[in-house]
Chain A
């Protein structure tokens, strides 16, 4: 009988360890995924001044837009001190504004033909796609962590380890909305 108890205790202990390690692993995966989102966002952060300076002499009627972009970028310069949620919102707003700027560019054929601009546009496309990929893998990691935090029996461990659910990197409404074509030709 005692053996049975010892056996059961050992088994519970092993299961406990594996759940604990599993949760730690999930948390670290989220952090790692977040840092890869960071790398991509940093790349875009560095590209934006070049892009703005390439278009500003053409986009004279859209000064406000360019100012917004620069302002958002300045705010994001101290992204490290923000909490995830605020930061994601700011990044989303920036994505939306940059998107709008690229649509406005369509009105300036000279600009569209410029080699320098084409190169920047291709780089931006690439970075946006990489950001989206990094964001998707971050979300997948968050999903797995949040499941671990909420599901039984790992939720017991999670509350003991005081693990917090993480926010998803959601796509903002501005980004999701399709561009208003009518306004473009107004």
Chain B
């Protein structure tokens, strides 16, 4: 699909969005008065009262600043929501009619927990959900960001467990156990011999599976509840495909197979379908959206999940 054609078809929506953007930008300028007010309050009181007596008034400055920030953020959000509601679904619809886009939602936390790839999260957020059916495969893909709460003496800190793209899809072969493919950090850090010894300790009741593909073994460590089933899932061709996927994203990837599903997590800090509040949507921007969308949907093709030659339909 040609991005220029999509851009032309979207003209009415784009014009309306451009009006909305100018309106939001105009309204967001109210925030500047608050920012200016905040600076003047703090500076003025310091000047007239001296820094000691002015301290309580600093608080007022902070309040004004926060209000200004909230006004600004509200307008940015308003515009962003509309772009995600009006533009992205149209692009998605033109390239694959069975797929839906929902900017405000994400892959559910239960799916994330079922994958057992990462520890349970205290804070779970996400956006840009793509879901539906591509070929014969039901799937959900979204960005997610999960964090764990850490309490120190007087502060609560959040540390990231996972940030990136998370996919859950129907797997094309029947299986019963649990198999995980993880980045081989032990072997990379401690070398072949020691790394192997460390991996052998196992993970969540699963044992290490040593596979024949040397390149694959270098990048990943595979754990499974069933040695033969792990090899049934990870056919020689799927191992190659996983390696290719890793190369094309150039980041750490994690896979989990359980309950007839495949879970795929790609660590990345990239923000998909980003909306620029300061510039109108150009034809290049449509191209970027299209590329990002294809990168996500291609994962299903790259893993060959639509190949249905086994008894599962």
Contact = CB atoms under 8 A, between A and B. Distances in A.
Task: Report if A and B associate in a common complex.
Answer: yes
Interface of A: 33, 36, 119, 121-123, 125-126, 129-130, 132-134, 136-137, 139-140
Interface in B273-313: 309-311
Contacts of A139: 212
Q: Which of A121, A126, A139 has the most CB of B within 10 A?
A: A126
Contacts of A123: 311
Contacts, number: 44
A133 B229 contact: yes
A80 to B, nearest CB: 21
A129 B310 contact: yes
A147 to B, nearest CB: 12
26 contacts: A33-B227, A119-B311, A122-B309, A122-B311, A125-B309, A125-B310, A126-B311, A129-B173, A129-B232, A129-B235, A130-B228, A132-B231, A133-B229, A133-B232, A133-B235, A134-B231, A136-B211, A136-B212, A136-B231, A137-B227, A137-B228, A137-B230, A139-B212, A140-B211, A140-B212, A140-B227
B210 interface: yes
Given A126-B173, A129-B235, A36 B310 contact: no
A85 B227 CA distance: 23
Q: Which 6 A-B pairs have the closest CB atoms?
A: A133-B232, A133-B231, A126-B310, A137-B227, A136-B231, A137-B228
| Interface range for B | 10 to 19
B228 A133 contact: yes
Contacts of A119: 311
Contacts of B235: 129, 132-133
Is the contact region of chain A dominated by helix, strand, or loop, or is it mixed? Answer: helix
A140 B210 contact: yes
Contacts of A125: 309-310
Interface string B229-247: 1111001000000000000
A137 B231 contact: yes
Given A33-B227, A125-B310, A140-B211, 4 more contacts: A122-B310, A129-B235, A130-B232, A139-B212
A134 B226 CA distance: 11
Contacts of A137: 227-228, 230-231
A95 to B, nearest CB: 16
Contacts of B229: 133
Nearest to A39: B228
Contact of B228 (A121, A122, A126, A134): A134
Contacts of A121: 309
Nearest to A141: B227
Contacts of A130: 228, 232
A121 B310 CA distance: 8
Nearest to A32: B227
Interface in B189-234: 210-212, 227-232
Q: Which of B230, B232, B235 has the most CB of A within 10 A?
A: B232
A126 B228 CA distance: 14
A119 B232 CA distance: 20
A137 B232 CA distance: 10
Contacts of B210: 140
A123 B310 CA distance: 6
Nearest to A134: B228
A140 B212 CA distance: 8
Contacts of A140: 210-212, 227
Contacts of B212: 136, 139-140
A70 B228 CA distance: 28
A129 B173 CA distance: 10
B211 to A, nearest CB: 8
Contacts of B309: 121-122, 125
